[in-house]
Structure 1
Amino acid sequence: MQKDTNTNFQLRTEFLKIYYLSVITGIASFSYKTNSKIKFNNIQLTRFIWPLIIIGANLFGCIYAYITSKHIKLTTLNLFVYQIVLPINFVSSIIIVFIFNSVKRRDFINLMSNFLDIEETVVIIDHTSRKICRFLKTFAKVSVIFVHIAYLIFESWYWGRYTHIYYETLARVSDVIQMILLIIFKSVVNVIQMQLDGILRRFSNDEVDNFGKNKKASLYHSRISSMKFSNTVLLKDIGRLRKEYFYVYTLTKKTNAVFSFTLLLIILKYSIYLVYSMYCTYLIITCNAQMCDGFDPLRIVTLLFWIIHVAASLYLITYSCNDVVLKVRQVADNVQKLMLQQEILSDDTEQLELFASQLTHNQIEFNAIAFNLNLTFFCTLMTSVCTYTIVVIQLK
């Protein structure tokens, strides 16, 4: 089977998006050209200039936040921001950039190299029948990006009235770095999802049902023709799909090795953001003058933005990971359907049993250290955050 040009275009687009976003965030440690393979760079000072600038800027922001809390009279909530929320934000950005340029440098390069070796198993999208959907999807993404940029500029100006606009801009740039890292992880999950879509396409229900019908027809012929059908249609396909699934499984393990700790840091930071934003919203609505500066509609807008942004970001990440797990279950269900076909030969059954065992022991899932990223985790996290916020409100 030859690779499809649309498929190559999709994979190349996802790869280039990951590459350029990693360059922006200062975690790219390799060079790449469209007509060549990935080239591993030796350790050079020039390669560390941009990451060092990012780390230095975040370190300055963390120190500035601490000094500000000591010399400026702030309300209780603003003091909480400058002593806890912003330092955690800056420190997490420093750790992320440092990890991707030291401990996870080679793992990230190997992950990118594997993307260039992906075979033709990804699903082929019909570009002619989905032009409207593609346009609307692109328009929605561009709109969300511009809304985020406009909001971050507004928030930098809003908080700059109390401290300094350059420092507040730096704080928002630190948030952008972590947002981009989530986009990179989402693109990696998309590539793995394409692989599973390709496997499912060959394991569709129609093919499973047609296999049984074709097999019944072959029973009227000789044993030789039946063996020939089995070897060319089932055994060959199952063997290839087993190799492709193992490739996807290996890619998932490398993805977890690269992103698991970083995702844990971002999830912890986002949880603190949620608790803080919901708590501040409650205090502003109830006009608690001792804890905040009174009722401020613009402040409520900024808090509601972070509540929606954090919840939506966590949902999209966990939903994508959960969708990959569901696709693996669909593959397992189709394997079980084939095994229940009475006309399958013993060699075919052995291959299917091996494939079923592989699906059982080599399960594909994404994690953040000890937490599996799925919709169950998202619901548990949101429940815990809401419960903790209620407790904090009652103990104020």
Structure 2
Amino acid sequence: MSIEKKITAELLRIKFPGSDISFIKEKSIKKLEVNDTAINIDIELNFAAKKKSLMIQGLITDVVSQISAIKINISLTFNVKSHKVQQGLTPLKGVKNIIAIASGKGGVGKSTTAVNLSLALLSEGARVGILDADIYGPSQPKMLGISQEKPTSKDGKSMEPLIAHGIQVMSIGFLVDQETPMVWRGPMVTSTLEQLLKETKWDDLDYLIIDLPPGTGDIQLTLAQKIPVTGAIIVTTPQDIALLDARKGLKMFEKVNVPIVGIVENMSTHICSNCGHEEHIFGEGGGLQMSKDYDVDLLGSLPLDITIREQLDNGIPTVVSGKNDKITKIYSDIAVKTSLKIAALNEDSANKFPKIVIERN
């Protein structure tokens, strides 16, 4: 076996730390050149992990150095690909992947998770947008500090997304008065959401995060069937009642053949603001047990910390506030795991084949 084949075989076996995913595929290796003085490797990964670049290069170097002692030059790039959506739906223009953030019930921190995950993906080098689909209680404008702004239209047909902290944003909250209750029936809600989704001019997004309304009723099921979703994340707390509803949310996505990327357990512990003591006031291990029961990943567990709430109230989410490195790291780890799981799904090949036209002469 040639040295190139040996190196390739070993690269394909590397597991991403903390997972069982072999993250380097054969098509990821764009160049593998061995000469008398050096081994030159160009690798393009299909997930977002810019902040992990040095760690990944270290993994590759460790593997290759066991095969040859000569100098190793590694060029590492990241290029997120588009992945398959539900049968009968096509990916949205300007968006490679849609990730739905859902919860079986309200009050578990779904919107908090959605906005911080979006910003964490951005920090890993991805182009990210967020659609606030919680029609009855839109919170993203406030959380992102842009509640007084309004979207504009350059062509009179589509809306330009607003930009906050580097991510593209759209919400019904921009279009109605903050104190106006949305007294709408299901069909009107789904119609409005589809309009917001399709008539927003998303600009070349790797990921569009959709903050769905809480619950698992007709509205949520209809949205899950009509939106071309790549994968879904379920947010829950460790509390038994919240877990019961979270399980319903997970089963809802399974019914419409949307892959479950994983579970995020929010409010896993309470951190005392005076002494720093942690305790499991909502129960312990619920998210982990749910992940085992349904054979999905627990992407991460977040504490109930007053600083998360304070930062969101001020329109500066934790990930960009620079004031809580511990929690920011948890969100960053969730973002990388999410991107890695999405990358492991089947890629969308619809646009790779030429259009075939049959004519009768």
TM over 0.5: no
Q: Which has the larger radius of gyration?
A: 1
From the two aligned structures, give the one with the greater strand fraction: 2
